[in-house]
Amino acid sequence: MKFFIDTANLEQIKEAEALGVLDGVTTNPSLMAKEGITGQENILKHYVDICTIVEGDVSAEVVSTDFDGMVKEGEALAKLHEQIVVKIPMIKEGVKALKYFSDKGIRTNCTLVFSAGQALLAAKAGATYVSPFLGRLDDISTDGLNLISEIRLIYDNYAFDTQILAASIRHTMHVIDCAKLGADVMTGPLSSIEGLLKHPLTDIGLAKFLADYKKGNS
């Protein structure tokens, strides 16, 4: 399972990278705005900055909603850096753009996916990644994890290459559940990754080991 961090914050990306288990980064226009990154030049520079911190894939989202606009934007993003994956929304024009980029060998991440049907369409169009937003489904009392298992079943039935990128992860249990269900990738906040290492028995056990060592070696 690949671990992506879902942020445009360079400090958090550096912290996650330092842990040694980071495989990539996902961003979106809201996350960029949260960091105060505005203006085309700054936005593009920020993507390059992220690419220099991590070795893996970096999703950069288009803001156009028409085919021609998405193609123009996506091609410019892909040219920025070899690690860039063009993030395309799951809308009709987006499906056409996914197919276009797939035919050109440009990698894509189909975002804002909330149903198995949308995920099937993204795979048919040749998306590299599909991003089901499980947290946002949970927010409206719909089982986000169920969507991950539905997509896994469909993709396995037909051996689609599209990778399931479990997105909108809110906490550590989401990560574990997605791993059990066979999601290829998770993207979430740093806290969802760091939560994986926590266990009180580890802390208690370590304190005891160190205390016992100190008794015999001081």
**Do residues 148 and 132 make contact, with C-beta atoms less than 8 angstroms apart?**
yes
Specify the stretch interacting with ligand E4P by CB under 6 A; choose among 70-78, 97-105, 128-136, 178-186: 128-136
Q: Are strands 185-188 and 2-6 parallel, antiparallel or unpaired?
A: parallel
Tell the smallest beta-carbon distance from residue 131 to ligand E4P (Å): 5
Distances (CA, A) of 129 to 67, 100, 124, 171: 19, 15, 12, 21
- The yes or no reply on residue 7 touching ligand E4P (CB under 6 A) is no
The only residue of 29, 56, 69, 135 in contact with ligand E4P, by rule CB under 6 A: 135
- The yes or no reply on residue 162 touching ligand E4P (CB under 6 A) is no
The only residue of 83, 118, 128, 131 in contact with ligand E4P, by rule CB under 6 A: 131
- Residue 16 pairs in a beta bridge with none
- The yes or no reply on residue 163 touching ligand E4P (CB under 6 A) is no
- The yes or no reply on residue 84 touching ligand E4P (CB under 6 A) is no
Enumerate long-range contacts of 105-112, CB under 8 Å, 24 or more apart: 106/74, 106/75, 106/78, 107/57, 107/78, 108/74, 109/26, 109/59, 109/85, 109/165, 111/28, 111/59, 111/61, 111/87, 111/167
**Do residues 137 and 143 make contact, with C-beta atoms less than 8 angstroms apart?**
yes
34 in catalytic set:
no
**Do residues 97 and 71 make contact, with C-beta atoms less than 8 angstroms apart?**
yes
The only residue of 101, 133, 155, 160 in contact with ligand E4P, by rule CB under 6 A: 133
Tell the smallest beta-carbon distance from residue 188 to ligand E4P (Å): 7
Q: Which residue, 118 or 131, has its beta carbon nearer to ligand E4P?
A: 131
Q: How many residues does the chain have?
A: 218
- Catalytic residue from among 14, 87, 104, 215: 87
CB neighbour class for 211 (10 Å; exposed up to 12, middle 13-18, buried from 19): exposed
- The yes or no reply on residue 29 touching ligand E4P (CB under 6 A) is no
The only residue of 13, 24, 28, 123 in contact with ligand E4P, by rule CB under 6 A: 28
- The yes or no reply on residue 128 touching ligand E4P (CB under 6 A) is no
The only residue of 187, 190, 192, 193 in contact with ligand E4P, by rule CB under 6 A: 187
For residue 184, what is the DSSP state?
A: S
Return the active site residues. 87
Q: Interface with ligand E4P by CB under 6 A: which residues?
A: 6, 26, 28, 111, 131, 133, 135-136, 167-168, 187
